[in-house]
Structure 1
Amino acid sequence: MRVFEKVAETLIGLGVRQVFGVVGSGNYDVTKALIARGATYVAARHEGGAASMADAFGRVGSSVPVISLHQGCGLTNAITGIAEAAKSGTPMLILAAEVASSAIHSNFRIEQSHLVESVGAASFRISRETAARDVALAYRTAVTRRIPVLVNLPLDIQNSETTEEYAASVASGAAILTVAEPVTEDISHLADLIERSNRPVIIAGRGGRGAGPQLRDLAEVSGALLATSAVARGLFNDDPFYLDISGGFSTPLAARTIQDSDLIISFGSALNMWTMRHGELIGPDTTVVQVDVDALAPGKHRPVDFGVLGDAGLTAAAAARELRSRGFSRVGYRTEEIAQAIKSEGRWQDVPYEDLGDGERIDPRTLTIALDGMLDKERVVAVDSGNFLGYPSAFLDIPDENGLVFSQAFQCVGLGLASVIGAAYAQPDRLPVLGTGDGGALMAAAEMESVVRLGIPLVVIVYNDSAYGAEVHHFGEDDDAMGLITFPDTDFAAIARGYGFAAQTVRNLEDLEPVREWLDGSRDKPLLIDAKTVSFASWWLEEAFKGH
């Protein structure tokens, strides 16, 4: 067996089933070997697209994805998507060919390990004698540290023969991931803080996903309201005391309710500037508790009063047991008045606004609310970055915590189209929906061919204001240099049809009728909606720019 075959065998034994990439001479053999052993391979048009596809799959899928890349330029092309994954805590493996150690003058030679480590990923290099164990260690690192991990595959080693005997099954994904049990003293102190509070709020982040039942139970016994960061949106759907998103996307009701709380308990949320609005959602007398499996997380982004090292589900369950053992139970913040307020004004769709549409351009709120009522309820929504991003993120309902791919940690425009492809493979029974701006759609246009070739019946909503809207409203619409960030109108419907999409230009609600017809039809082509939108400053980016 050659080393590249051993690498593929090991990855399949570890549970890898999904591979994204762009094939070149250096990664051709290992990619074929993975496919031969049962992996599904998706060919992207750009390595950056492959990285974003894998990132999205890793967020809402059930296994660790792999990216397969050529040496040198293949990896540099993918680095922005890798940076987003690293900053978002997405476990995935990057298989990248590497020039042989003797090829010191190769044009493909770069310090690949240094490159990925500079954006927060980790790296390993295989050897002929220990290739399988090297890959297993890389996999373990990706899962336990929740980061992308590069596996360098030197060309001379890839094709050498190996006699290594290593059973990948001994390091399966389930066996690798250890669950952190909170210590008894921490649970006791957390219960004390809950007892002393009157208006507690539980905020769940990505680390709270999968712990919904335990967090709901703790909220019920403690009298707490529930909220999530944007990335965990949907975790508490249908709970009458769910405030939806905490942070820049908070509804007015959610913002003032969280501000009025006297105890905030975070489960797997970073409590960064986005989730806490630069601290504005924390009242002057509010106690803040942060629960995380990462010992360095509590206090990383802002001071906290108490940090708990522990798994979200185990910690919530233990705290609920402790409270019940004390005979503790109360209404707390879960009053009928709060429940009625959430029912009547807890969603952005219920918040009144002045429609700014003029017939030539549609208000993005009006557009998104209308689409929310038309699109399948079973959906997975991916969101690109830009002035528009709050509309698909907050105005489109999602079915659960695996329904939103929010790739905003690196705040990079152009990752959305590839992300929705990865999300479609992770959640194949749901309608994939992308919200993107005109800038992001143009940056990622090459992957439109991928969508058509792969036969993905997705919906792309282009919020087209003919500008980099975030910068327009940040620098001021009267700036002398506005020509740097405003552009002539682009006919995205024509571009999409050229790739093989169905497409519709939308300037008002009447223009959405063909969208309804597409949804009721065979969906044999993907659909792009070129929405000519009114441009105005979004409140969430006003918050975001405070951190720049």
Structure 2
Amino acid sequence: MGHDRFLSGGEALVRALEAHSVTDVFGIPGTHNLEVYRHLAPYGIRHVTSRHEQGAGYAADGYARVTGRPGVVLTTTGPALLNAAAAVGQAYSDSVPLLVVSPGVPLRHPRLSTGLLHETRSQTEALRGVAAFSHRVSSVAEIDAAVARAFTLFRTGRPRPAHIEVPLDLLEATEALGPVRTAPSVPRAAPDPHAVREAAGALAQARRPALVLGGGARGAQGACLALAERLGAPVVTTANGKGTVPETHPLSLGVSLHSAAVQKWLATRDVVLAAGTELAESDFWSPPPPLDGTLVRIDIDPDQMYAGAPADVALVGDARAVLDALLPEVTGHARVADEIPVLRAARDAETAARDARWIPYLKAMRSVLAEDAIVTSDSAQCCYYGALPHFPLGPEGRYLHPTGFGTLGYALPAAIGAKVARPDRQVMALGGDGGLQFTVQELATAVQLRLPLPIVVFDNGGYGEIRAEMAARGDTPTAVDLPPVDLPALARAYGGHGTRACGPEELRRALTEAMDTPGPTLIVIPEETS
């Protein structure tokens, strides 16, 4: 006990975060978490104050995606934690390492309601429904073990969000604690050698191979490109895999699993290697097509080998470790993928009329943004119809999009988190007017940080996608047309900058200026709504 010292639960928590190299947290202080806040600065942890806990969650998500380190959210009890739950659901869907920490009702709080401030029937049950786990500690000494448990999850398996609840009386209580316990270092999960040889044999014999790359393949960018070139195999990615292979590369089909032509082509491949992707309906925007050939799956999550499309050859492990083991075993023929230009043309012809309105603006953005720029995206037409397929990206850049769970309001706070993490890189948020207003208050957070941050918004006067779906059903559009808001004036009211761009050249000039202007610049592009 000679090396023990008395720590409060709040200090024990912050000490554990610092021991796991946490340098930034996002959140809002409240009555029940003040003991945590008092220790942040002494332990060298910077706090970014959001204006809503959902915004804090998306900011931490963006931070995690661009750093590869867990994003941390600090909330108070009850409504604050539940405000962050949508962000937890999005992080679970997109396999993002997110740690949410909150107080909870006291350790011996009665089962029957007492009317305690922020009293909630069960925060842990609520968060278990959207997170990988929710851990309620029962002593100060257990706090660092709970934090280590979360970081062990982030390091050893499919990264997904976790919640730690510290009863509010334990935050103030003190116990004698020894050295902090931390998550162990774990090597990347290696594949079974027999499965590697089986996969290599299938690829060597393939006459029509294809690669499908998801977000789990991003850490193996060089190996993915090397394998594609060795095989002469066309590459198609999911939204989260965007840019893993340069989208200007002759073998790239970009983000186009939703294309009917690409789906038909993929179904005819004799071998498909899918790395770090669920091959889910949210990737194809429809039920996944049946695959006629051999399916080789690479995934750190063994459940994926029989979920959805079952693997014919299962390579369980970290994508980089698997591909590093697979590459030396593959003897490729460097086939000439001469079908790619024809396939690209067929893909683009399917949606040419729909997508034409965004492409000139996307070209203007591309002309301003550096190759390593970070673009955050929302569930908006200009993003999933526009930027995902038509904004070329390479491994140096990042495109952060809320897939699967499909939240709204992601782009602005995620851009804030990305910019906090990478202040030296260009960061731009892209979305629509409907989604922006879910988290528009985070403009105040961006103003406070004084970091250059353009937010490009296509304004179609409401919920354009739902309006179009209603019309396609033959319904009268209902509850989708919103009264106009002077969004540039709103940005200025928050202390930022706001303007309109009525053409690609105006956007190019406004975006160029915004990159050199401290604080957020909201650039609104008016769209026709009919």
Displacement of 1:154 in angstroms is 1.0
Distance 1:38 1:4 in 2: 15
Q: Does 1:271 align with 2:259?
A: no
- Aligned with 2:136 (options 107, 125, 132): 125
Q: In the alignment, what sits opposite 1:153?
A: 166
Residues 226 and 242 in structure 1, CA contact (< 8 A), matched pair in contact too: yes
Displacement of 1:513 in angstroms is 6.1
Q: In the alignment, what sits opposite 1:261?
A: 269
Alignment of 1:182-201 (within 5 A): 182-201=191-210
Q: Does 1:291 align with 2:285?
A: no
SS of residue paired to 2:216: helix
Query: Which residue identity does 2:69 align to in structure 1?
Result: S
- Aligned with 2:334 (options 331, 334, 341): 331
Distance 1:409 1:280 in 2: 14
1:432 to 1:491, Cα distance in 2 relative to 1, 3 A: same
Displacement of 1:3 in angstroms is 2.1
Q: In the alignment, what sits opposite 2:4?
A: none
- Deviating more after overlay: 305-314 vs 395-404: 395-404
Which whole-Å deviations, capped at 9, do the CAs of 1:341-365 have from their partners, x for residues lacking one? 79x96997x99945999xxxxx233
Displacement of 1:525 in angstroms is 3.8
Distance 1:218 1:393 in 2: 24
SS of residue paired to 1:201: strand
Alignment of 1:361-440 (within 5 A): 363-390=357-384, 391-400=386-395, 403-440=398-435
Q: In the alignment, what sits opposite 1:502?
A: 497
Q: In the alignment, what sits opposite 1:144?
A: 156
Alignment of 1:23-422 (within 5 A): 23-104=29-110, 105=114, 106-110=116-120, 111-126=122-137, 127-145=139-157, 146-168=159-181, 171=183, 175=185, 177-237=186-246, 239-248=249-258, 258-278=266-286, 283=291, 285-323=292-330, 328-332=331-335, 334-335=336-337, 337=338, 353=352, 363-390=357-384, 391-400=386-395, 403-422=398-417
Distance 2:332 2:132 in 1: 44
- Deviating more after overlay: 117-126 vs 300-309: 300-309
Distance 1:394 1:518 in 2: 26
Distance 1:355 1:309 in 2: 40
Residues 256 and 389 in structure 2, CA contact (< 8 A), matched pair in contact too: no
Query: Which residue identity does 1:152 align to in structure 2?
Result: E
Displacement of 1:517 in angstroms is 5.7
- Aligned with 2:461 (options 445, 451, 466): 466
Displacement of 1:460 in angstroms is 0.8
Displacement of 1:47 in angstroms is 0.6
Displacement of 1:160 in angstroms is 1.3
Distance 2:287 2:79 in 1: 41
SS of residue paired to 2:365: helix
Query: Which residue identity does 2:145 align to in structure 1?
Result: R
1:371 to 1:345, Cα distance in 2 relative to 1, 3 A: farther
1:179 to 1:255, Cα distance in 2 relative to 1, 3 A: same
What is the CA RMSD across the aligned residues, in angstroms?
2.8
1:299 to 1:522, Cα distance in 2 relative to 1, 3 A: same
Structure 2 stretches lacking a partner, 5+ long: 1-6
- Deviating more after overlay: 391-400 vs 197-206: 391-400
- Aligned with 1:14 (options 20, 37, 46): 20
Residues 378 and 431 in structure 2, CA contact (< 8 A), matched pair in contact too: yes
Query: Which residue identity does 1:7 align to in structure 2?
Result: L
Displacement of 1:224 in angstroms is 2.0
SS of residue paired to 1:193: helix
Displacement of 1:138 in angstroms is 2.7
Residues 231 and 333 in structure 2, CA contact (< 8 A), matched pair in contact too: yes
Query: Which residue identity does 1:151 align to in structure 2?
Result: I
Distance 2:102 2:288 in 1: 43
Displacement of 1:410 in angstroms is 1.3
Identity over aligned pairs, percent? 24
1:298 to 1:356, Cα distance in 2 relative to 1, 3 A: closer
Residue correspondences, number: 515
Residues 355 and 366 in structure 1, CA contact (< 8 A), matched pair in contact too: no
Q: Does 1:446 align with 2:441?
A: yes
SS of residue paired to 1:484: coil
Distance 1:329 1:263 in 2: 13
SS of residue paired to 2:240: helix
Residues 364 and 463 in structure 1, CA contact (< 8 A), matched pair in contact too: no
Residues 203 and 246 in structure 1, CA contact (< 8 A), matched pair in contact too: no
Residues 375 and 427 in structure 2, CA contact (< 8 A), matched pair in contact too: yes
Which whole-Å deviations, capped at 9, do the CAs of 1:186-217 have from their partners, x for residues lacking one? 11211221122112112221111111122222
Distance 2:354 2:96 in 1: 38
Which whole-Å deviations, capped at 9, do the CAs of 1:221-243 have from their partners, x for residues lacking one? 33322232111211111643222
Displacement of 1:510 in angstroms is 5.2
Q: Does 1:529 align with 2:526?
A: no
Query: Which residue identity does 1:311 align to in structure 2?
Result: D
1:246 to 1:308, Cα distance in 2 relative to 1, 3 A: farther
Residues 12 and 140 in structure 2, CA contact (< 8 A), matched pair in contact too: no
TM-score relative to the length of structure 1: 0.86
Displacement of 1:459 in angstroms is 1.1
TM-score relative to the length of structure 2: 0.89
Which whole-Å deviations, capped at 9, do the CAs of 1:260-289 have from their partners, x for residues lacking one? 432110111111123345456655x33222
Displacement of 1:40 in angstroms is 1.9
Q: In the alignment, what sits opposite 1:542?
A: none
Distance 2:409 2:216 in 1: 26
Displacement of 1:480 in angstroms is 5.8
Displacement of 1:464 in angstroms is 0.7
Residues 31 and 68 in structure 1, CA contact (< 8 A), matched pair in contact too: no
